[in-house]
Structure 1
Amino acid sequence: MELFQHSGDWTVIDNAVQVMEEVIKLTPDGHADKAGRFNNLGAAFYHRFERLGELKDIENAIDVKRQAVDLTPNGHADKAGRLNNLGAAFQSRFERLGELKDIENAIDVKRQAVDLTPDGHADKAGQLNNLGVAFQSRFERLGELKDIENAIDVKRQAVDLTPDGHADKAGRLNNLGAAFQSRFERLGELKDIENAIDVNRQAVDLTPDGHADKAALLNSLGNAFQSRFERLGELKDIENAIDVKRQAVDLTLDGHAHKARWLNNLGNAFTRRFERLGELKDIENAIDVKRQAVDLTLDGHADKAALLNNLGTAFQSQFERLGELKDLENTIDIQRQAVDLTPDGHAHKAVLLNNLGSAFSRRFEHLGELKDITEATVAYKQAAENTSSHPSTRYVAACRWANLCSKYQSPSSALAAYTVVLEIIPQVVWFGQTVHRRYEELPKIGQTINAAAAMAISAGDLPRAVEWLEEGRSIVWKQLLQLRTPLDELHQQYPDLADELLRVSQALDNAGTSNFQPRIDLEINQQSAEKEAQNHRKFAARYEALLQQVRELDGFDSFLRPRKFSELAPAARNGPVVVVNVAKFRCDALILGTSGEIIPVPLPIFSYEQAETLRLKLLSSLQACGVRVSRNGDRATRLAGKDNQDHFGSVLADLWSHVVQPILPEIEQALYENAHHSLPHITWCATGALAFLPLHAAGIYSDPRKNVNISDFAVSSYTTTLTAMLGSISKPKQGPTETPSVFIVSQPDAPGLPSLPGTMKEVEVIQYYTSPDHTCHLTRELATVGAVLDEMSKHEIIHLACHGIQDIKNPLSSAFALYDGRLELNALMRLSLKNAELAVLSACQTATGDENLPEEAVHLAAGMLAVGYPSIIATMWSIGDKNAPLIADKVYANLLGHRDISESQKVKLAPAYALHEAVKHLREEVSQTNFVKWVPFIHFGVY
């Protein structure tokens, strides 16, 4: 064996096998060396398999290594090493044939090897490393997150136990990097790919030129660079990837077992640079090296399908550039081979099916033959239903399947596809990810939800449309709130299960909304952050297992599942709720009536594109009017832009003509049945770009003789979701029947922000209507984050007169600026307020939201709804410092200034009505066409 390893002459290994077989035949059973000789023969078979790929060799290797283990008594010094060697053979056969039992066996015997090896033993690090490799292999097959967590854990131990200068240090660093990269590709956490590049670079730097492993280490570093390029798009990363991968290929001799893999990886990097820069030479190079990779790989090899798939995608990229049909034909032929070679249930099968479906779709676009649509639909459906594949891959496949069915097949087939889409979304936006990472996934989901609802409306399934819109809005909010759901009924019947679910929910809640604070010691910080992330995902997996356990109990099958329409309908019990769906396919209003009916109102003259145009016009108008929209906490400031125009009047007129006016006649009867001798009430739940537009102010204001607007017909409120209304709908706020307790927070001089002298005027007018015994006022240095949080639960009404800050990059860091820092949504979301009635957010942009997350309603007003305030007064953009006190005066005059009135008049004192009257007064003061002054004040929640 040593002679073979030195010379590389394969006749030597053949001779060695023959000699060892003869020696074993001559060694009697019970001989002390019998087990060792079996082990050595297994090693010889194993090396020959690695060189020639003959399946019989790995079968023989497993057989004789198993005999070696069986003949080695427990406690023998070589037992652990022989178990480790048997595990390596099982893993090699798994990589060749893909049989799950082999990787299970590999993990089992490698774990035994680790357990048998005492701490401090020279072999411990190597065995930990090998166990980690096996865990990672199973993760790549099944996608179970626990496996990659285990892989990182034991590989990190292996690296830590390996002293600097050890011959295996570089290889173990490389393996740890591979595990970080695999987890990055699953969860998308940037820190993982940064760690992968760091340890892979260390591995390369530790390996001298000429070393046999140098090529493999360079290849791994190149893969990590490419993964970061995929995430961040930095050209330098793909340049580095090509450079080091080319070095890996050049260092690898023809005939080397991994030559094909290195060629394939270089081809992938060329393909990605081609897609970025469009240089034809890159795609030609990609096809050339990928074809070499396929030709070098034997039929039956575990990598064959992946190599074919990558060659197919390169041909398709060349087709997209040159339009040659032959390239597309090659793509389909090669991708079909890749799919056929991959067993059902394999983690990568969905990727291959997705690519095959894409190729069929492109050929349909080129030739127009419907059979290609059928083939593409079948491929996408199979990909979406391959539950062991990555959720994001399945989600893309399901969306493509639904899109093709919507265009070319029956509505029922489209609804079936969209049903799968909705089932996958919770896995894409998963509890085990950080909240920030979940928000990164959301932009691609919103339009899909709107499209699904549009298809349900088109098919006449209105309840399903409402359910889907509800399920697809405020996804992360609902996940966070789900963790705080009362478990009373479960606790009565199954107290132990309820207690554990509560414990896990609280731990997951804290993990999801916490902000990890960096420490001075970077290494300790990284390990602590890693441990925190692992705990987060562990709790998420346990939480899902507990949910499944609860749902299997009698009477709990719908526990914490998405609400059915019958459960959502009560949101309109006290007045119609108008859900407006804006999709590329069509736009519709769905009016939820007080009796549980759904009235569909098509909006044929309104479109997705028009909603986007109106949003941009509104933004231009705000800038032209000098309103700061940078969300940095300033009240209205003169910042008129040179290229911006005031389109405010036309925006409101278009909203009236194209959205509001068509809806009003359909709900006239429902409106006036619930008017209670005053103006009726509408709650708007808008989607897409419409969520950023002031429906409550829609109207025509340009001609005094024809002026008409929605406030002439109804009082408007907004809601982020129907669910947000359900908690308080049974006891809608009809104005206070007894003196409520009011908590006022004012901060006229927040450190580092412009002064707000008008806040003191606000406080004066509020205190005029309140009793000192029922009022708490914190201001200046007393208004700290801790003091405000401590006081909030003691009062029914809170009034925040301060700067509001919208954080677009990290929405849960949106905040109210107080004396000692920011009162963030992160902190507010941890509160649970039972007696809350009203929050008045007299701060800027408290209902602005993020244009990239239109369905999520990530703003301060939504946060206060989530905390437990059923009624919110907020602002859509920066407000004038002089206008806030006027609004406060009129709102509190209506809320608290009248005591001796009839029950029929108390509805007029509800917050939505109080704000309506206050804004009406402000409009008269500043003129109705000074839209920027009076339009931003809005009401959320139950009126």
Structure 2
Amino acid sequence: MRLDISELRRLHPELAYEFFRCNDELAKSAASPSQHSHPDFSTTASHETDRRYNTGRKLEQVIETIRSHPGFERFVLAPTEDEMKSAAIRGPVVILNVSRYRCDALIVERHGLRHLQLHGLHKSDIQNYAATLDSSSVTTQLLEWLWDTIAGPVLDFLNFTQSPVADLARIWWIPTGPLMKFPIHAAGYHATGSKTVLDRVVSNYSSSIKALFHFRENQLKVEMPGLPERAVLVGMQNTPGQTKLPFASQEINELRGICDSLELQVCMPPPNVDGVLSSLRDCEIFHFAGHGETDPSDPSMSAIILEDGKITVARPLQTNLYARKPFLAYLSACSTGRMKNSDLMDEGLHLIAACQLAGFQHVIGTLWEVNDKSCVEIARKT
């Protein structure tokens, strides 16, 4: 829903306020603690049900009013077929649909929509691999299985059959369910030539078709300068309550030199919540090197950790960066794209998605724990 709000706030702020008021009211009532122990529980529950019903009806009326205004006819609706195809203007989009009946790749291209049944992929196998999947269990067997069951068939279907001599084509993956945990971009037989995703295409991920369409549409409106102007660099070598990261400072120092050579204005704000959030409002690049954590019960509380607290998934969503549309957020921390709650896999409630929804055009993050020293090399090369 937040994808449609920026323009609404600008043109019809009173409707945006009412929309959020109804949403927040429903969210609060859904999150309120159980009152079974209260002596008037049945009366309280009945009143709460009536209130939720009335708020829900009010929200429907607000949405109808919003859709009556020019330019908002499809407010919070799914994208049309033409909108889906426009999302694939820079490369095909592959939605990996998992069910107990069969698994398919739903493929969106500029000229149409196609599907490919993935005959070798079964939900039970996915669940078995996902049950123990972390950075230490990414084996050649797993990467070859991902190639045989998903990446290989899809790339062959799209005619990406060889390693090109010129620039690699791009592809956008939208995994669903437990496949959200898997490194599809790394699938392949890495010891035998070009049977790998990395050799054939540049992989990107998105949380949904609608999100990708939205960012495609907004990127066309951005007047991109020759180079990003301001880079915000935050390094946390010492984090309260966490292990020391001896290479975090080296990472920031090396990046500062690179930014200087590119004539970027470097900003190194105080490593606290207010300092970092305020610095995001006028940056083009945000780079964080430090600790991240995943909340298994409430993914919206997953966070990067600073001196005085945490920047959770919810905080970037409250920071409207659409006016500037900053270029890149680079989250060099553990588990910034990780989801532990299997019931919420498809909701995209992690820091990577939050930064993109907040307004960053591009986000780089991590699936699991990462090695401190390796982060320096990867950041420098990026």
Identify the TM-score tier after normalising by the shorter chain. Answer: 0.7 to 0.9
1:505 aligns with 2:26: no
Cα gap change, 1:816/1:541 in structure 2, threshold over 3 Å: closer, same or farther?
Answer: farther
Q: Which amino acid aligns with 1:571?
A: A
Cα gap change, 1:880/1:669 in structure 2, threshold over 3 Å: closer, same or farther?
Answer: closer
User: Could you give the per-residue CA deviations for residues 339-397 of structure 1, whole angstroms, max 9, x where no partner exists?
Assistant: xxxxxxxxxxxxxxxxxxxxxxxxxxxxxxxxxxxxxxxxxxxxxxxxxxxxxxxxxxx
Match of 1:665 among 128, 131, 156: 156
Superposed, which structure 2 residues align to 1:414-429 within 5 Å? none
Alignment coverage as a number of residue pairs? 363
Judge conservation of contact 1:508–1:536 (CA < 8 Å) in 2: no
| Greater strand fraction, Structure 1 or Structure 2 | 2
1:848 aligns with 2:338: yes
Percent identity over the alignment? 26
Secondary structure of 2:110's match?
A: coil
**Match for residue 583 of structure 1?**
99
Secondary structure of 1:729's match?
A: helix
TM-score by length of structure 1 reads 0.36
Superposed, which structure 2 residues align to 1:39-78 within 5 Å? none
Cα gap change, 1:747/1:534 in structure 2, threshold over 3 Å: closer, same or farther?
Answer: farther
Judge conservation of contact 1:838–1:869 (CA < 8 Å) in 2: yes
**Match for residue 754 of structure 1?**
243
Within 2, Cα distance between the matches of 1:480 and 1:500?
16
Structure 2, gaps ≥5 residues long: 39-44
Cα gap change, 1:718/1:773 in structure 2, threshold over 3 Å: closer, same or farther?
Answer: closer
Cα gap change, 1:705/1:748 in structure 2, threshold over 3 Å: closer, same or farther?
Answer: closer
Superposed, which structure 2 residues align to 1:377-526 within 5 Å? 479-482=1-4, 484-487=5-8, 491=11, 498-508=12-22
Q: Which amino acid aligns with 2:251?
A: E
TM-score by length of structure 2 reads 0.84
Superposed, which structure 2 residues align to 1:636-655 within 5 Å? 646=137, 648-655=139-146
Within 2, Cα distance between the matches of 1:739 and 1:551?
36
Within 2, Cα distance between the matches of 1:740 and 1:555?
32
Residue 506 of structure 1 deviates from its aligned partner by 3.8
Match of 1:612 among 97, 111, 127: 127
Judge conservation of contact 1:800–1:842 (CA < 8 Å) in 2: yes
Judge conservation of contact 1:514–1:826 (CA < 8 Å) in 2: no
Within 2, Cα distance between the matches of 1:863 and 1:777?
22
Match of 2:177 among 647, 668, 688: 688
Match of 1:872 among 340, 363, 367: 363
Within 1, Cα distance between the matches of 2:56 and 2:171?
39
Within 1, Cα distance between the matches of 2:248 and 2:271?
13
1:859 aligns with 2:350: yes
**Match for residue 599 of structure 1?**
114
Tell which has more relative contact order, 1 or 2 (C-alpha 8 A, sep 6+).
2
User: Could you give the per-residue CA deviations for residues 383-436 of structure 1, whole angstroms, max 9, x where no partner exists?
Assistant: xxxxxxxxxxxxxxxxxxxxxxxxxxxxxxxxxxxxxxxxxxxxxxxxxxxxxx
Residue 726 of structure 1 deviates from its aligned partner by 2.1
Residue 549 of structure 1 deviates from its aligned partner by 3.6
Within 2, Cα distance between the matches of 1:786 and 1:517?
28
Judge conservation of contact 1:575–1:670 (CA < 8 Å) in 2: no
Within 2, Cα distance between the matches of 1:751 and 1:677?
47
User: Could you give the per-residue CA deviations for residues 586-614 of structure 1, whole angstroms, max 9, x where no partner exists?
Assistant: 1111221133x112211111111121122
Q: Which amino acid aligns with 1:593?
A: E
Q: Which amino acid aligns with 1:820?
A: D
Residue 814 of structure 1 deviates from its aligned partner by 1.1
Match of 1:679 among 146, 163, 168: 168
Residue 536 of structure 1 deviates from its aligned partner by 8.3
User: Could you give the per-residue CA deviations for residues 767-825 of structure 1, whole angstroms, max 9, x where no partner exists?
Assistant: 111137611013xxx21111111110110110011211111212111111011111112
Q: Which amino acid aligns with 1:863?
A: A
Larger Rg: 1
Judge conservation of contact 1:576–1:670 (CA < 8 Å) in 2: no
**Match for residue 715 of structure 1?**
202
Judge conservation of contact 1:618–1:648 (CA < 8 Å) in 2: no
- How large is the Cα RMSD of the aligned pairs? 3.5
Cα gap change, 1:745/1:535 in structure 2, threshold over 3 Å: closer, same or farther?
Answer: farther
Within 2, Cα distance between the matches of 1:690 and 1:582?
8
Structure 1, gaps ≥5 residues long: 1-478, 492-497, 524-529, 626-645, 892-943
Judge conservation of contact 1:765–1:888 (CA < 8 Å) in 2: no
**Match for residue 41 of structure 2?**
none
Secondary structure of 1:486's match?
A: helix
Secondary structure of 2:347's match?
A: coil
Superposed, which structure 2 residues align to 1:118-517 within 5 Å? 479-482=1-4, 484-487=5-8, 491=11, 498-508=12-22
| Greater helix fraction, Structure 1 or Structure 2 | 1
